[in-house]
């Protein structure tokens, strides 16, 4: 029967369209859950499920936050997703909270940024940083003070400023974020016009000179390399000597393939030396636990035909993957240390 046939076709097209719609839960698990928690309760990233956040921000804020990320603050920019995928993610983030409706709309703020700057210094800077750069670290439990259950986000960040409207910032200040250290500043004694002034000051961070973008390090070589005029054994001793002088405790100095082959097959022509400055390691872990991927410091020494080469990874090259401006600074420091160390060892 033609109508039955047409109906069947219709159903099949509809179900295919339904299948083609991106699945927000799957996308969230794949792209966001590692940092924001499976149910949006937070982790390295701030909690997205909190009613106070959900009642404050509109879908555009979520969409633009996903698109722009927070350059230099760990939160990636998801430029590769389609508009449909981003919309599905926004829906998924909304699904974490079914109870709260939005806060009432506010009068659009037109404040005085100069007065706002004074209020910011006295009421906000302790948590959000003197220039709105956000608190240190990434938010993992052990890397933040225990009295601050959620890290203060960066407000001078181009990603935040692109996503947040003045009204959203004002609503945040009026109501705070219940369940987080972010308080209602009306309850803290600020008037509505004070709040408007602070909003104007936060908006003034949008001047490009005040924002820190991560350094572009994609042109850096992945490996730092030197040729040594000494034998593998002599070079090993020299590296250990320099490491000790640089305050690196030698953790081990072994053939490169130790543990992967029988002792008799170990290759004496290739060695690795691991050293660690524990003070630096702890500082770096507090900034971003992902430094564990390239610490402790490792120097590799190898005989290549008639030459002895000596190398380390280049932390400056690795750091750009992580989108963390604070980590970039440490990686810069580490690259300098590695370069000096290699230079001295082959002198
Ligand atoms: C590598 C970790 C990481 C990943 C992956 C990540 N985020 Fe984030 N996200 C963060 C951090 C950290 C912040 C806070 C930024 C700051 O401190 O300034 C943040 C902030 C946000 C904010 C702003 C929250 C607020 O309170 O205003 C939203 C919205 C957000 N992320 C959504 C997402 C979504 C959706 C995904 C997946 C598509 C995602 N994030 C993936 C780490 C991450
Ligand atoms: C005691 C620490 C603390 C103080 C003081 C504080 N904040 Fe916050 N603020 C936070 C935390 C933590 C969050 C993140 C809350 C969340 O995860 O929802 C936050 C969130 C925000 C947000 C939303 C940003 C985002 O990415 O969602 C804005 C805007 C903000 N604060 C502005 C201010 C301003 C302006 C002041 C001063 C009037 C101030 N805060 C004072 C800790 C603080």
Query: How many other CB atoms are found less than 10 A from the CB of residue 237?
Result: 13
Task: Looking at the CA of 167, name the nearest ligand.
Answer: 2
Q: Which residue has its alpha carbon closest to ligand 2 atom 33?
A: 124
Q: Any alpha helices (H) in 191-324, and if so which ranges?
A: 192-204, 232-245, 278-287, 315-319
Which of 60, 62, 65 is the pocket-test mutation for ligand 1 (most atoms within 8 Å of CB)?
65
Question: Can you tell me the distance from the alpha carbon of 237 to that of 253, in angstroms, rounded to the nearest whole number?
Answer: 10
Phi, psi of 81 (to 5 degrees): -80, 150
The HSE-up count of residue 240 (CA atoms within 13 Å, CB side) is 14
Ligand with the closest atom to the CA of 166: 2
| pLDDT tens-digit map of 155-200 | 999 899 999 999 999 999 999 998 888 899 988 899 999 999 999 9
Give the mutation target among 28, 29, 45 for probing the ligand 1 site: most ligand atoms within 8 A of CB: 45
296 upstream amide cis, omega within 30 of 0? yes
Neighbour count for residue 244 (Cβ, 10 Å): 12
Question: How far apart, in Å, are the Cα atoms of 80 and each of 7, 68, 76, 307, 327?
Answer: 37, 11, 11, 44, 24
Indicate the domain borders of the chain. Answer: 20-210, 223-346
* Residue ID of nearest Cα to ligand 2 atom 40: 124
pTM for this one? Answer: 0.75
Residue nearest ligand 2's atom 39 by CA: 124
Longest dimension (CA), the chain: 90
| 20-210 and 223-346 in the same fold | no
Nearest atom in ligand 2 to the alpha carbon of residue 177 is: 18
* 203 Cβ inside 6 Å of ligand 2: no
What's the topology of domain 223-346? Answer: TATA-Binding Protein (3.30.310)
pLDDT tens profile 23-81: 999 999 999 998 888 888 877 778 898 889 999 999 999 999 999 999 888 889 999 99
Residues having CB within 6 Å of any atom of ligand 1 = 31-32, 34-36, 44-46, 48, 53, 62, 65-66, 70, 73-76, 78, 89, 93, 134, 138-139, 151, 153-154, 157
| In contact, 277 and 330? CB cutoff 8 Å | no
Q: What distance lies between CA 300 and its chain's CA centroid?
A: 29
pLDDT in tens, 282-335: 888 877 877 777 777 889 998 888 899 999 888 888 777 777 878 888 888 888
Show the tokens assigned to 269. Answer: 């022509």
H/E stretch holding 54: helix 51-56
Q: Report which protein residue has its CA nearest ligand 1's atom 11.
A: 45
Residue-wise pLDDT tens digits, 78-128: 999 999 999 999 999 999 987 768 899 999 999 999 999 999 999 999 999
How far away, in angstroms, is 81 Cα from ligand 2 center?
A: 29
Between CA 189 and CA 119 the distance in angstroms is 12
Under CATH, what is the fold of the domain 20-210? Cytochrome Bc1 Complex; Chain D, domain 2 (1.10.760)
Ligand 1 closest atom vs CA 89: 35
């Amino acid at each position: 029967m033609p109508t039955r046939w047409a109906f069947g076709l219709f159903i099949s097209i509809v179900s295919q369209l339904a299948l083609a719609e991106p699945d927000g839960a799957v996308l969230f698990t794949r792209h966001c859950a590692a940092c924001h928690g499976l149910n949006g309760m937070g982790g390295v990233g701030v909690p997205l499920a909190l009613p106070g956040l959900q009642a404050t921000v509109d879908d555009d804020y979520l969409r633009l936050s996903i698109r722009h990320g927070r350059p230099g603050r760990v939160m990636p920019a998801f430029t590769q997703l389609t508009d449909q995928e981003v919309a599905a993610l926004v829906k998924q983030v909304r699904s974490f909270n079914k109870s709260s409706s939005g806060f009432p709309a506010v009068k659009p703020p037109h404040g005085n940024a100069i007065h706002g700057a004074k209020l910011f210094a006295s009421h906000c800077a302790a948590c959000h940083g003197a220039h709105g750069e956000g608190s240190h670290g990434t938010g993992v439990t052990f890397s933040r003070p225990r009295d601050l259950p959620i890290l203060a986000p960066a407000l001078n960040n181009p990603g935040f400023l692109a996503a947040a409207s003045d009204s959203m910032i004002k609503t945040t200040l009026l109501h705070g974020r219940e369940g987080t250290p972010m308080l209602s500043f009306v309850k803290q004694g600020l008037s509505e016009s004070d709040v408007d002034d602070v909003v104007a000051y936060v908006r003034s961070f949008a001047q490009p000179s005040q924002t820190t973008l991560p350094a572009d390090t994609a042109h850096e070589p992945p490996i730092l390399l030197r040729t040594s005029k000494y034998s593998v054994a002599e070079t090993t001793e020299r590296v250990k000597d320099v490491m000790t002088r640089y305050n690196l405790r030698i953790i081990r100095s072994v053939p490169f393939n130790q543990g992967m082959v029988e002792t008799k097959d170990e290759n004496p022509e290739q060695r690795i030396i691991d050293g660690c400055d524990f003070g630096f390691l702890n500082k770096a872990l507090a900034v971003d636990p992902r430094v564990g991927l390239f610490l402790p410091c490792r120097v590799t020494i190898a005989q290549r035909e008639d030459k002895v080469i000596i190398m380390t990874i280049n932390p400056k090259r690795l750091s750009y993957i992580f989108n963390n401006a604070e980590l970039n600074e440490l990686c810069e420091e580490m690259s300098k240390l590695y370069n000096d160390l290699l230079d001295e060892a082959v002198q």
